Structure 1
Amino acid sequence: MPELNRRALLIGGAALPTATSLTPASANAPNNDEAFWREIAAEYDVTREIVQLENGNWGATPRPVQADYFEKLARVNRDTSYYSRRGMGRDLMAVRDRLAEALGVPSDEIAFTRNATEAMKTLIGGYNRLTPGDAVLYADLDYDSMQDCMKRMALRERAEVVRIALPEPATKASLIAAYAEAFARYPRLRLVLLTHVSHRTGLALPVREIAALAREKGIDVIVDAAHSWRQLDFSLPDLDCDFVGLNGHKWLAAPLGVGIVHIRKSALSKIDHDLATAPDGPDQIGERVHTGTLNAAAFLTVPAALAFEARIGLDRKSQRLRALRDRWVVRARSIAGVQVLTPDEPGLYGAITAFRIAGKTSMRDNGAIARQLLERHRIFTVARDGVERGACIRVTPNLFNTMAEMDLLAEALTELGV
């Protein structure tokens, strides 16, 4: 494609506005008001070299959040221990309270981690209810590191590892049935890993319903919500689970290095204290994780990220992400040879969706497809492996993307079909 102002082209010939705050009129605009979303997109300083549709690694921070982060970072760097020993702890606890409010749980049920992986390692590695001969379960769409954690933990405790493949195509009913069947087949199941939104395909599990079935069988549930929190509109009581790991630097768009672990007080005894905590220390969630020094400035920026999101509204944000996804998926489903893996059933998807070209199931095949999209169309996506029926391409739009960019993807896919 010739070098030109691609971003201007994609919004109809006009350059993106440079406003740093929403006007009252646009703040009350309907969700399909593209002028409103251009104002939101203008808050992001993103690359203009490509159409960025690989936003699953981490989320770009909008300019107001980035500015707040630089301010917090400057203070931490300037005042160092004079701040850390005379007020930073108080400020961080205020951030924890604000996060707890957003999550819908008491403040003493969450603790800071550096990412969701660290939160999940805390939960899986610290789980202490396994005995030899028990079983643990995970699915093909779960995150690779979490699968490995389950296998390592099972090896340590001499437990059986059960892996299931989730149905493709999936429905809410078929997903619940898949777990129900596994729960019935393996009576010694003690722990199950549930990924709320898969990083591979974007499939969103009906976590609450599956967890309820597990509870009836005496099975504990650990939830990986790294991709679902602030991509979907929910709070932790909606999941009704004891153990959850979350990320703040994916869909909340906080700076890199923000993670959260949640443990219900009623289930605290099921997770061991961290090795780096004192044996006679208090029995609280903070004793279950010991990260060492955190990037305090990143956590101190969380209120700014929440404030930016509040200008949009979480429900409206989630709707927009789904609308961007639907824009290309509706067209892609009509293209011969293009298989959209993620279902359209409400509640089973958000922004992330994966597709596969018929017969192209290897990572080599899908790596080549991702390269073709980038080199021929300047559209950046990523190949994902680990799905039972074969590798795929993951597409992940964010709030700075436009409907025109989704149309460009759909047009590019016509060249890939058979």
Structure 2
Amino acid sequence: MPENTLRAHDESFWETFVGRYDVDPHAPLNLENGYFGRMSRTVVEEYQRNIEFVNRGNSVYVRQHFDRDHGEAIRQQVAQLIHASPAGVALANSAVDALQTLIRNYNGLKPGDQVLICDLEYASVKSAMRWLARQRGVQVIELVHPYPASFESLVGTYRQAFIRYPRLKLMALTYVNHLTGLVMPVQAIAETAREFGVDIILDGAHALGQIDFDLKKLGIEFAGFNLQKWIGGPLALGFLYIAPQRLADIDPDMDEDHCPATDVRSRTPHSTPNIPALLTLPLVLEEHRALGGASAKGARLSYLRDLWVNAVRDVPGIEIMTPDDPRLYCGITSMRFTAHPDQQAMADRLLNDYGIFTVVRNTSVGPCIRITPGLITLASDIERLIQALLELNRT
């Protein structure tokens, strides 16, 4: 058995690991870890030290030292997360900021062209693509993927769209869907898109830290990520990626000139970033690597997911919304109580009756309850969830 799989099952290790985090003992059990991740105690302490450090030095440190002494090193470490050159990475405030920047500055469209989104994209990405279409005089094509999904159906739906809409030039693609946790077969879709000359802007918000990937191998040249979900950084940290050979296809952001047009950093707005948070990133990334990186985190989260899904998938009245194909899921999975039309009411009961916090998401086939374990979730917590789901299902 691979080392990461062995560790994923090692409950004694994870019981000790939980001790690295401060948790409110009176708070509900959090199974909505997809919103943002929890920082370790040492990261919180480092963050506080950096707030105090920057506050003491103020603009003298920021203007004279940050970029020269720390900023570039941080950018290099971030690039290592996606096995990419730092020349393609620019820091941003979030994945949404990064993706909106890529979308609004993509310059490869002319009136009459088409852009593609689907029902699984994040709302901000869909709205940005619709805005782009209005600004450039192009048409938005919107797909709804078949449910339940399969590897073949996902790739096939895109191939059919590329054939049906020959004027397609750009598409959004979400690596890990925020609604149900469905993992898109990105490499296969990218290969198909390349056949038809369609560029992809990848939303990697939920993938980074859960899935170990190489953007070049995936065939992705434009992408946006955050560092606050599965990496464990402070809030308001993200970055974009533009393959260096494609830099000219994304304009400088609103003619931004704080860096030369040959520098990827000109593709982001120039503003004062959260420098204490950025200074905390080296420790965050050190802890990420020490744990085993995305491979170790992903193995643990998928193991926890499998514990509850395997226990309830075949129970009448409970529908799991995410396939069991290991290529198509990670730690996030959604379900619904088929005998209860109001899933929000059932999520409220999970919270009020069992002290378990989840979130409801609306999909093209109806509302569902998204369940997302975190790195401090234990197998005993999942047993508590299973019992709650089975009891609620009988009511």
TM-score range relative to shorter protein: over 0.9
Structure 1, unpaired ranges of 5+? 1-25
* Equivalent position of 2:44 in the other structure: 66
Q: 1:166 aligns with which of 139, 145, 159?
A: 145
Aligned residues of 2:258 and 2:270 also touching (Cα < 8 A): no
Give the secondary-structure state (helix, strand or coil) at the position aligned to 1:351: coil
Aligned residues of 1:113 and 1:291 also touching (Cα < 8 A): no
Q: 1:326 aligns with which of 306, 312, 317?
A: 306
Aligned residues of 2:256 and 2:270 also touching (Cα < 8 A): no
User: How many angstroms does 1:208 deviate by?
Assistant: 1.1
* Equivalent position of 1:355 in the other structure: 335
Q: Does 1:271 align with 2:250?
A: yes
User: How many angstroms does 1:243 deviate by?
Assistant: 0.3
Using the alignment, how far apart are the partners of 1:212 and 1:258 within structure 2? Answer: 30
Using the alignment, how far apart are the partners of 2:41 and 2:72 within structure 1? Answer: 25
User: How many angstroms does 1:55 deviate by?
Assistant: 0.8
| Deviations 1:178-207 (CA, angstroms, capped at 9, x unpaired) | 111111111111111000001111101011
| Deviations 1:240-273 (CA, angstroms, capped at 9, x unpaired) | 2110000001110100111000001111111111
* Equivalent position of 1:176 in the other structure: 155
Using the alignment, how far apart are the partners of 2:40 and 2:4 within structure 1? Answer: 17
* Equivalent position of 2:64 in the other structure: 86
Using the alignment, how far apart are the partners of 1:129 and 1:204 within structure 2? Answer: 28
Instruction: Call closer, same or farther: CA 1:366–1:210 in 2, change over 3 Å.
Output: same
Aligned residues of 1:211 and 1:241 also touching (Cα < 8 A): yes
Aligned residues of 2:259 and 2:265 also touching (Cα < 8 A): no
* Equivalent position of 1:33 in the other structure: 10
Q: Does 1:143 align with 2:122?
A: yes
Q: Percent identity?
A: 38
In the superposition, the TM-score normalised over structure 2's length comes to 0.94
Q: Does 1:302 align with 2:281?
A: yes
Q: 1:154 aligns with which of 133, 138, 154?
A: 133
In the superposition, the TM-score normalised over structure 1's length comes to 0.89
Q: 1:98 aligns with which of 46, 69, 77?
A: 77
Give the secondary-structure state (helix, strand or coil) at the position aligned to 1:262: strand
How many residues get paired? 389
* Equivalent position of 2:21 in the other structure: 44
Q: Does 1:393 align with 2:372?
A: no
Structure 2, unpaired ranges of 5+? none
* Equivalent position of 2:166 in the other structure: 187
Aligned residues of 1:46 and 1:60 also touching (Cα < 8 A): no
Give the secondary-structure state (helix, strand or coil) at the position aligned to 1:275: helix
Aligned residues of 1:114 and 1:291 also touching (Cα < 8 A): no
Ranges of 4+ aligned residues in structure 1 off by more than 6 Å:
26-29
Code of the residue aligned with 1:86 in structure 2: it is Q
Aligned residues of 1:53 and 1:398 also touching (Cα < 8 A): yes
Aligned residues of 1:64 and 1:308 also touching (Cα < 8 A): no
Within a 5 Å distance, the mapping from 1:102-141 to structure 2 comes to: 102-141=81-120
Aligned residues of 2:234 and 2:277 also touching (Cα < 8 A): yes
User: How many angstroms does 1:239 deviate by?
Assistant: 2.2
Aligned residues of 1:276 and 1:290 also touching (Cα < 8 A): no
Query: How much is the aligned-residue C-alpha RMSD, in angstroms?
Result: 1.9
Q: 1:402 aligns with which of 365, 372, 378?
A: 378
* Equivalent position of 2:35 in the other structure: 57
User: How many angstroms does 1:175 deviate by?
Assistant: 1.0
User: How many angstroms does 1:61 deviate by?
Assistant: 0.5
